[in-house]
Amino acid sequence: MNQNNDFISPDTLKIGIAQIAPVWLDRERTTQKIISFIRRAADEACKLVVFGEALLPGYPFWVERTDGARFNDPVQKEIHAHYMKNAVRIEAGHLSTICETAAEKQIAVIMGCIEIPMDRGGHSLYCTLVYIDAEGRIQTTHRKLMPTYEERLTWSPGDGHGLRVNSLGDFTVGGLNCWENWMPLARTALYAQGEDLHVALWPGNVRNTEDITRFIAMESRSFVISAGGLMRNSDIPEHTPHVEKIRGNTSESELVADGGSCIAGPDGHWVVPPVAGEETLITAVIDHKLVRMERQNFDPAGHYARPDVIRMTVDRTRQNILRIKD
């Protein structure tokens, strides 16, 4: 699916959204699928490709389908253990093939993963947004500040370490996970660092993206990419623990998450309206001139800000309970 791809100028950037389903809770097979879409986006001349929240290895859809709040339940423990086994340990090189592909194809990648980091003991899960530059280097790992509702049964709260932006051509790129995008101060932390291309990752659904994407674009006077995933019962492998319980009494083709990926311009108008129900690569060319035009009358962290009256503090320390003194 292509939008506005006829003209490229020095101010412009071609971007892609890979709206895909994972091979659910299977890290290795989902990694291969992600790599195939990175290659496809690069072959279509994209300089950035974005994937949905928690895509590698998948969003915890089982929680609401299997009585996930039942305490000390063997079913929940077994599924959670399987999730941990397939989570991403960056220190172990689980993203190395994705980084190598980004470097080979000279394309930046933003993706959502479930991280199981050693700096927090190696046994807790974090919903993490990863920014990989076109040289294949991991520049940002942002752990979701506050998991939403039932997500708290399987994910841990993150920290401010990843509230950072990165340069990409004329653009300054930042991003947040899912309902973090509703947090005014988290958005402001990125605006104040010069963000003018905001990336919002979602597990997928038009109901999440159709209002907030345009709202953030109008508030920030930035381009906003909302990248959602897909999820069907058929995407659940047979070897998944308690697969029948997770699928429930629903058809193989039923959409658990319908995508909803879209792009809004800095004036709030759609560049690409929400796309639902299909696995696809969405591409568009965005023009930095439009950011500069819209900042003429409103810049939320610049000429329209009053730091003498209102300001904020961001702690970007990577949280850890251990301080070793030898």
Active site residue 53: yes
**Catalytic-labelled residue, pool 47, 53, 219, 262:** 53
- Reading the block at residue 38, the tokens are 């990175």
Starting at the edge strand found earlier in the chain, the sheet holding 126-132 runs 2-3, 280-287, 12-19, 48-50, 108-115, 126-132, 138-143
Tell whether the torsion through CA atoms of 60, 130, 142 and 307 is positive or negative.
negative
Backbone angles phi, psi at 271, to 5 degrees: -90, -45
Active site residue 100: no
Length, in residues, of the chain: 326
**Among 224, 218, 198, CA closest to 268:** 218
CA–CA dist 282, 83 (Å, integer): 29
Query: 215, exposed or middle or buried, with CB in 10 Å at 0-12, 13-18, 19+?
Result: middle
**Catalytic-labelled residue, pool 47, 99, 144, 294:** 144
**Catalytic-labelled residue, pool 46, 113, 127, 178:** 178
- Reading the block at residue 16, the tokens are 């892609």
Which residue has 């190598």 as its token pair? 100
Active site residue 254: no
The catalytic site residues sit at 53, 144, 178
